[in-house]
């Protein structure tokens, strides 16, 4: 059976469909980290890794991004943001920068960060004395460790391995950036993730509630 609607009835029906979506408008965001073509953003308390040209479930559009700034469209408003920049009025002002890293399904704390501006996956490891990585990862990051590093022998879970002691120009996790961080490059393909060790963690404040590791910059 065909049903006909008056203009006002049809308009009301359309508004009923549209209005629920407006309830999901983003209220507040904070830019945590920037990478070429990507941005780590806290959206209403949730961490999102945005990719250029893609829209998040909340409706954020990352127009472009590099290591200096990101152009993000929020609620139809397009602006440029640097790390630490905020949108919305519900953030408490703080001189310290914070990163919240939830526990993963393996019981560890993993996050996306960067070394010298290049994106890396990181595993927090308080048992590692420095920021450690395999030689494969170091080459991907364009670290010329064999030229600039100091040859050392590294003790690993599977025994001893050749390695190099290096200094990383810039290590970034979320909104926290540290310069001149001690690192270790281990010959071979292990570890499979960059280990965020104590040469970084000793320079920030850490608080673990069991499910989330909170890192906070020191003043």
- Give CATH superfamily name and number for 98-217: Acid Proteases (2.40.70.10)
Pairwise CA distance, residues 113 & 34, whole Å: 9
- Mean pLDDT for the chain overall: 82
Phi, psi at residue 123, to the nearest 5°? -120, 125
Environment class of residue 42 by beta-carbon count within 10 Å: exposed (0-12), middle (13-18) or buried (19+)? buried
Please give the CATH architecture assigned to the domain spanning 26-87: Roll (2.30)
Q: What does the pLDDT read at residue 22?
A: 36
Higher pLDDT, 120 or 19: 120
Q: What does the pLDDT read at residue 131?
A: 98
Q: What does the pLDDT read at residue 95?
A: 53
The CATH 2.30.30.830 portion of the chain extends over 26-87
Cα angle 103-36-75, degrees, rounded to a multiple of 5: 75
Phi, psi at residue 133, to the nearest 5°? -155, 160
Residues in the chain: 219
Which of 122-131, 156-165, 196-205 is least confident?
Answer: 156-165
As beta bridge partners, residue 143 has: none
The CATH 2.40.70.10 portion of the chain extends over 98-217
pLDDT surpasses 50 at 169:
yes
Can you spell out the DSSP letters for 54-103?
-B-TT--EEEEE-SS-EEEEETTEEEEE-TT-EESS-PPP-SS-EEEEEB
- Is residue 31 within 8 Å of residue 70, measured between CB atoms? yes
The residue among 145, 118, 135 whose CA lies nearest residue 38 is 118
């Amino acid at each position: 059976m065909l049903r006909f609607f008056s203009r006002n009835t049809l308009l009301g029906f359309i508004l009923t469909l549209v209005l629920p979506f407006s309830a999901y408008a983003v209220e507040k965001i904070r830019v945590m980290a920037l990478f070429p073509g990507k941005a780590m953003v806290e959206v209403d308390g949730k961490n999102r890794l945005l990719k250029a040209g893609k829209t998040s479930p909340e409706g954020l559009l990352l127009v472009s991004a590099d290591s200096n700034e990101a152009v993000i469209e929020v609620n139809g408003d397009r602006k440029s943001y640097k790390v630490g920049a905020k949108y919305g009025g519900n953030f408490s002002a703080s001189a310290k920068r914070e990163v919240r890293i939830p526990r993963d399904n393996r019981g560890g704390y993993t996050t996306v960060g960067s070394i010298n501006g290049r994106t890396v996956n990181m595993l927090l490891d308080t048992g590692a004395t420095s920021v450690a990585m395999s030689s494969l990862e170091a080459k991907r990051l364009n670290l010329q460790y064999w030229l600039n590093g100091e040859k050392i022998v590294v003790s690993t879970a599977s025994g001893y391995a050749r390695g190099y002691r290096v200094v990383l120009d810039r290590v970034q996790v979320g909104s926290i950036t540290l310069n001149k961080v001690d690192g270790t490059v281990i010959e071979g393909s292990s570890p499979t993730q960059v280990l965020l060790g104590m040469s970084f963690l000793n320079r920030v404040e850490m608080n673990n509630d069991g499910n989330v590791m909170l890192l906070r910059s020191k003043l």
